[in-house]
Amino acid sequence: MASTSLNDVFQFLNTINPIVNDISKAGETVKKSFDKNYIQRIYDAAKNEREKVKSHPSREVTLLRAFKNYADRSTALRIDNMIETLNIIETVMNIQRSAALSQKPAIESASKDGRTPIVQNMQFNEITSILMALSLIRQK
């Protein structure tokens, strides 16, 4: 049990290490919670969207796959890179399209900074789209 004498309490409070440790632990807890509840969900949604694109390839990707069958190894690797890039581009476009469609008209009440809820929502959707795109590029 910790000492409760005033001298010990003042001495404890005057040391910075326990406070820094507690703040660090709290920060890590918040970061883990944020990652789990928000960032990971964004990454998972991007991954699901990527799988949809891969399961329904565009005409360009289908054509590149056909060419790949007749290419030498180095050319086939470059075609694979092109296919992957096209899939990422199409996935990002789908995410942006979904973000634009999810815009719901809101009551036009301005916040302290003068921005309306719809503007704030659009900015949030743009940030979410960027995070999804970055996660797709990182997974490449």
Q: Please say if the pLDDT value at position 36 is more than 60.
A: yes
| Average pLDDT for 67-84 | 94
Instruction: Identify the helix (H) or strand (E) that includes residue 13.
Output: helix 6-14
Please report, in angstroms and rounded to a whole number, the separation of the first and last CA atoms in the chain.
Answer: 53
pLDDT of residue 7: 78
Number of helices and strands in the chain (H, E): 6, 0
Q: Please say if the pLDDT value at position 77 is more than 60.
A: yes
- When pLDDT is cut at 50, 70 and 90, the band that residue 3 belongs to is low
58 Cβ partners below 8 Å, 6+ apart? 86, 90
pLDDT of residue 121: 65
